[in-house]
């Protein structure tokens, strides 16, 4: 995937699966943005994935899983996304106040 984007810089959050030996081997030869471990994740998309994941039903069939995710994504109320975007100033302020440490957001 990365090879189709020459000059791209990969960003990952240093979560345990991303720091595994196999993951690190896959990233050799690519530029990786330095990122502190256990840094707060301010991306609202993480909250959206969480909301979708809580509604996801187990499935053995990848086609059904894909269809289920597409339905959940389409049915996601715009208000959920709007609320997350509107929360960004509070989230950033909390992160600054915590000096980059954990926050309740």
pLDDT tens string 2-45: 667 778 888 777 777 777 888 888 888 888 887 776 666 677 88
> How many other CB atoms are there within 10 angstroms of residue 91's CB atom?
19
* pTM greater than the 0.75 cutoff: no
CA-to-CA separations, 101 to 15, 43, 76, in angstroms, rounded: 15, 15, 30
Distance of CA 80 to the CA centre of its chain: 16
> In this structure, what token pair is assigned to residue 40?
């707060």
């Amino acid at each position: 995937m990365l090879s189709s984007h020459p000059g791209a810089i990969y960003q990952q959050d240093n979560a345990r699966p991303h720091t595994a030996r196999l993951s690190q081997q896959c990233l050799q030869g690519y530029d990786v943005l330095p990122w502190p471990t256990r840094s707060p994740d301010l991306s609202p998309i993480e909250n959206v994935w969480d909301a979708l994941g809580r509604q996801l039903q187990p499935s053995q069939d990848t086609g059904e899983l894909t269809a289920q995710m597409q339905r959940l994504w389409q049915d996601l109320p715009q208000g959920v996304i709007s609320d997350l975007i509107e929360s960004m100033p509070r989230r950033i302020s909390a992160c600054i106040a915590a000096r980059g440490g954990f926050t309740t957001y």
